[in-house]
Every structure is written in structure tokens, then in C-alpha cells.
Amino acid sequence: MSARGLHLTPDTAGGRMKGRIFDIQRFSIHDGPGIRTTVFLKGCPLRCLWCGNPESLTLEPLLSYMPDRCIACGECERACRFEAVSGGTAGATAAIDRKACTVCGECVPVCDPKALERVGRDATIGEVMALVERDRDYYASSGGGITLSGGDPVFQPDFAAALLEAARSARLHTCVQTSGHAPWGVLARLAPLTDLWLYDFKETDPVLHKRFVGESNETIVDNLRRLHGTGARILLRCPMIPGHNDRDAHLDGIAALARELPNLVGVELLPYYDLWRAKLPRLGLSTTFPETVKPPSRETMKAWNERLRRQAVKVQG
Ligand code: SF4
Ligand code: SF4
């Protein structure tokens, strides 16, 4: 694996090429036009403090455990060769020792109530496309298709390109949701295969950007300009995080960028949501992001959108 992501060897090319995914959601209506199937690829080059999909960040699978589903049958403790589960008997729910757990997944199939889940699996292009193609009629009637999301699809560029090629061969509309933080060559490779980019822009100030997501925004903005220069269709999607990037200066920075890129499909402000917090204990993860940060009200979102509209931005939503 390169520092930038996972590259696969040529002998895995074609429908048998494997990538690592953590979810496939059918009937998505927020990941591009129409009804879509969203394929979530694992791995991301950024570390946003408010990441809505913390299970996506690493390529490595994670063990998810939901104690409220545990019926204390003890099967997981018996199945685990690494002594990484204790309890799960005599009425006490199971407890996972995350340091000892190798995420081998052997406890998962023995857990009848599905309290345990291995998040992240390898899937072939053929396997993913077989699922995606089931809803072809819905795509046709709604103007939908397939969306690659994550994580970030640029983290597995070979798999993302092969999946987009397969979707193109199947005559499906393709969307890629990305932060754009990748070598330009990755985006240039995906561009001819992508009908619509859902391109994240999280912070105008490079110093704050680095503080919020772990990297400066210079590569992201540079790639955005280059992608726009290719004639790509791009929807700029901007998560709005109260107390972090909800400054007038950032909104005006978004407007300035949008004016500079006249062929943008538009700008969509995305309200922060905090449902991701509930995922952390299940995954054995923690955060220092303040719990006091709450989703913005509809009125606040409306005011932000109005500020952009006053600056001649094509606002969606
Ligand atoms: S197998 Fe599942 S239900 Fe049984 S003790 Fe383990 S986690 Fe609980
Ligand atoms: S994933 Fe493997 S190591 Fe971890 S608790 Fe389950 S059986 Fe044990």
C-alpha cells in the first residue's frame, strides 16, 4: 500500500479485482441525482474531527459490538482463540478486549442476535456490480445510478477506476464523492469515468483546514481547479460545522471559489449531524470533538444559503 492509498496488482484486474468496502446502500437519495446505490469504500486520507463514518477511516476491518443486542449466550467467548472476549455468560453481556482482538471475525457467525459485526470486507467488482445492477429499473425511472463514497474512493484508486469502468460498461450514471485530497493523477484517471463529482470543501483557511481535518486544503483546491478545467461536472458540497467553519469568512470564501469556477453544477451546504457519536463505542473508538457541537437549525441553514445566493452562487438545497 502506498502512503496515499491502496493500489492493487494487475493480476487482480477485471471483474475479479477486489477492493475493500464497508457498506453498500441501495435506494440512496442523498448521494447524487435520483435513486442510487452507494458503495462505501474503506480508507480515507483525511481525519475530519467530525467524521460521520468513523468506521471508514482505516483500510483495516474493525469489530463492531452492540452490547444492547447481547443475550449473554457465551458463544463468542468459546469461539475466540485469542481470549479477547470475556463475560457473555451468566447474564453478563460480553466485553471485548480491543488490545487482544485481532478482528479475525470468528466470533461473528456464532452470534445469533448479530451483536457482533466485522466492518470492512473485500469484494470483487463483479460482486458489487451484481448488487448494483439489481436496481437498474429504479435508476432508469429516476435518473439515478451508482455513487462511490467512503471513506474516500481516491484511497483505492485502482478499485474505484475499475468499478466506474464496469458501471460505464453497464450504462449507469456515475457519481464520485471525494475530498479531492489525492495526487492529481488519481482524479485525472477517474474524471473520464465520472458523470458527477460530489466534491467536499470543508474550510477556506488552510491553517484551520489542517487543524480540522489533518491536512492543508492546498491540494484539494488545486485539484478542484484542475478538475473544473477538464469540463467535469462538479457539485461543491460544504459541511457546516457550528463553532468551527460556520464563519462569514468561510461562507464568503466558498462564494469566491464558486465565482471563480463558473461551470460548477452548484454549491450545497450540508448541516453537521452528530449521529456518528453513537458508532464510536461500538467500534472501540473515542473522540475529543466537543459534545456541545449540535446540528444547525433550519433557520441558520437558510441564512447561510441566503448569504451565498446574495453573492450569485447557484445554491442547491
Ligand atoms: S455471541 Fe453475541 S449474544 Fe452471545 S455473548 Fe457473544 S456478543 Fe453476546
Ligand atoms: S474478532 Fe476474533 S479476536 Fe476479536 S473477539 Fe472476535 S474471535 Fe476474538
Give residue 16's pLDDT: 85
Say how far apart CA 155 and CA 58 lie, in whole Å. Answer: 10
Report angle CA 152, 303, 253 to the nearest 5 degrees: 55
Give residue 148's pLDDT: 98
Pocket of ligand 2 (CB under 6 A): 63, 79-80, 82, 84-85, 96, 101-107
Say how far apart CA 240 and CA 247 lie, in whole Å. Answer: 9
User: From the CA of 71, which ligand is nearest?
Assistant: 1
Task: Ligand 2 pocket test: pick from 85, 98, 108 the residue with the most ligand atoms within 8 Å of its Cβ.
Answer: 85
**What DSSP assignment string belongs to 201-221?**
---SSHHHHHHHHSS-SHHHH
Give residue 151's pLDDT: 94
φ, ψ at 229 (rounded to 5°): -65, -20
Residue type, position 14, single letter? G
Q: Which atom of ligand 2 is nearest to the CA of 102?
A: 3
User: From the CA of 88, which ligand is nearest?
Assistant: 1
Q: Which residues of the chain have pLDDT under 70?
A: 1-14, 88-90
Cβ atoms of 152 and 179 closer than 8 Å: yes
Give residue 92's pLDDT: 82
Q: Give 73-105 pLDDT, tens digit per residue.
A: 999 999 999 999 987 666 789 999 999 999 999
For β-strands 18-28 and 36-41, DSSP reports them as: antiparallel
Give residue 88's pLDDT: 62
Give residue 13's pLDDT: 52
Domains recognised in the chain with CATH numbers: 10-59+120-316 (3.20.20.70), 62-119 (3.30.70.20)
Residue 110 near ligand 1, beta carbon < 6 Å? yes
161's enclosing H/E stretch is helix 157-169
Residue 73 near ligand 1, beta carbon < 6 Å? yes
Give residue 2's pLDDT: 43
- SS3 category, 119: strand
Residue 151, preceding peptide bond in cis (omega within 30° of 0): yes
C-alpha cell at 297: 437549525
Cell 453498500, residue located: 24
pTM for this entry: 0.92
